[in-house]
């Protein structure tokens, strides 16, 4: 564990600054760290190292912009600021990062942040969170502290779901897992729900499975994992379908920052939006 902490020394320094020096909310700080680690994954190198080298006041301002990004991910069809909305972040990381970019990669960002939270943050920030939350988190008080699961107030999050850190003595930590040694948030382990689109068709203009497959394959390559065509009434015409993609990045390519994308094939319209499970 000490070796792992040393490897993620800069990450831990920045997180400690957020929750200890600046007294920011632990749950929100976890999400901000996951967001910054995701930015490194999409082509903005050494984000955390750059943050570790600036003043606490600047880190606080950058965290405010990170919080703005997280709120932006929960919005649909929001008006994008002309100037990009993230001037401080762009200056510090020496790259063009904007709310427009975040919007265009919305579902990739959400899935990546979830992955980084569970695969990285839960493993490298546990002791820091224990120190911060020792007097405020809900615990099983009959057990010694090392045997209690750590519940972070603010989770389950409406967008990013549940987040509970296992007790130290029960945690199965695989130190050979490359995901805890790299500042990356791979999206290849996301659920099918994260990669599923909902398609609707116009009544009176029947669309075939072959047409749907041709449309998306021609536009986005070999992207289809599963296509389910369904009827919503007793007629023979299929009125809607679910399309499971091979990766979440294609979801953002299809929607391009919009809530609904409209396509046309052989004179017939297909409306596409992100699938949302309704339990």
pLDDT tens digits, 77-116: 666 666 678 999 999 988 888 888 888 899 999 999 998 9
Q: Do 198 and 158 share a domain, yes or no?
A: no
In a domain, 23, yes or no: yes
Average pLDDT over residues 63-74: 92
The dihedrals phi and psi of 174, each to the nearest 5 degrees, come to -90, 100
Check which CATH number belongs to the domain holding 243 and give it.
Answer: 3.30.70.330
Q: The whole model's pTM is what? A: 0.83
Q: Pick from 154, 180, 206: which residue ends a domain?
A: 180
Same domain, 145 and 217: no
Residues 173 and 219 occupy one common structural domain: no
3-state secondary structure 178-237: HHHCCCCCCCCCCCHHHHEEEEEECCCCCCCHHHHHHHHHHHHCCCEEEEEEECCCCCCC
Is there a single domain that holds both residue 69 and residue 131?
Answer: yes
Average pLDDT over residues 210-222: 97
Asked if residue 279 belongs to a domain, the reply is no
Same domain for 64 and 94, yes or no, is yes
End-to-end CA separation in angstroms for the chain: 39
Residue 173 lies in a domain: yes
| Tokens describing residue 191 | 């659920």
Q: Are 31 and 90 contained in the same domain?
A: yes
166 and 199 belong to one structural domain: no
Q: Kindly state whether residues 145 and 202 are assigned to the same domain.
A: no
* Domain shared by 87 and 176, yes or no: yes
pLDDT reported for residue 212: 97
Structural domain tally of the chain?
2
Residue with tokens 């075939």: 208
CA distance 38 to 249: 13
| Residue numbers of the domain that contains 247 | 192-274
> Considering the domain boundaries, does residue 169 fall inside one?
yes
Cα 67 to chain centroid distance, Å, stands at 13
Which of 180, 202, 226 is the last residue in one of the domains? 180
Taking 70 as the threshold, does the pLDDT of residue 22 lie above it? yes
In a domain, 31, yes or no: yes
Distance of CA 150 to the CA centre of its chain: 22
**Residue 199 forms beta bridges with which residues?**
241, 272
Q: pLDDT of 127-178, one tens digit each?
A: 899 888 875 544 434 444 554 567 788 888 888 888 877 655 444 445 455 5
175 and 200 fall within a common domain: no
Tell me, yes or no, whether 196 and 148 share the same domain: no
pLDDT at 234 (0 to 100): 57
* Same domain assignment for residues 269 and 208: yes
How many angstroms from the chain centroid is the CA of residue 237? 36
Written as one string, the DSSP assignment of the chain is -HHHHHHTHHHHHHHHIIIIIS---HHHHHHHHHHHHHHHHTT-TTHHHHHHTS-HHHHHHHHHHHHHHHHHHT-SSPPPPTT-S-HHHHHHHTS---HHHHHHTHHHHHHHHHHHIIIIIHHHSHHHHHHHHTTTS---TTS-GGGSPEE-TT-SBTTTB--EEPPGGG----TT-GGGTSS----TT--GGGGEEEEEE-TTS---HHHHHHHHHHHHSS-EEEEEEE-SSSSSS--EEEEEES-THHHHHHHTT-SEEEEEETTEEEEEEE-----
> Nearest Cα to 183, choosing from 3, 12, 62, 1?
12
Q: Single out the residue in 149, 180, 211 at which a domain terminates.
A: 180
């Amino acid at each position: 564990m000490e070796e792992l902490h040393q490897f993620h020394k800069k990450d831990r320094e920045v997180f400690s600054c957020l929750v200890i020096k600046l007294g920011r909310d632990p749950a929100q700080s976890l999400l901000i760290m996951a967001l910054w680690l995701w930015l490194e994954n999409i082509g903005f190198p050494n984000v955390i190292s750059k943050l570790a080298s600036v003043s606490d006041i600047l880190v606080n301002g950058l965290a405010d912009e990170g919080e703005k990004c997280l709120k932006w991910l929960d919005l649909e069809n929001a008006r994008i600021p002309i100037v990009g909305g993230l001037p401080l972040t762009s200056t510090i990381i020496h790259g063009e990062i904007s709310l427009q970019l975040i919007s265009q990669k919305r579902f990739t960002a959400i899935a990546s942040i979830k992955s980084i939270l569970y695969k990285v943050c839960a493993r490298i920030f546990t002791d820091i969170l224990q120190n911060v939350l020792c007097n405020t988190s809900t615990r099983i008080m009959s057990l010694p502290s090392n045997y209690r699961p750590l519940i972070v107030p603010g989770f389950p999050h409406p967008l990013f779901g549940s987040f509970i850190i296992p007790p130290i003595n029960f945690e199965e930590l695989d130190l050979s897992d490359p995901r805890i040694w790299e500042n990356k948030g791979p999206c290849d382990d996301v659920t099918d729900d994260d990669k599923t689109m909902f398609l609707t068709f116009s009544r009176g203009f029947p669309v075939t499975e072959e047409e749907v497959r041709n449309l998306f394959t021609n536009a986005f390559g070999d992207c289809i994992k599963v296509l389910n065509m369904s009827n919503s009434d007793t007629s023979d015409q299929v009125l809607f379908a679910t399309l499971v993609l091979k990766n979440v990045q294609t979801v953002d390519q299809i929607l391009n920052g919009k809530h609904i994308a409209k396509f046309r094939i052989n004179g017939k319209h297909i409306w596409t939006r992100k699938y949302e499970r309704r339990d």
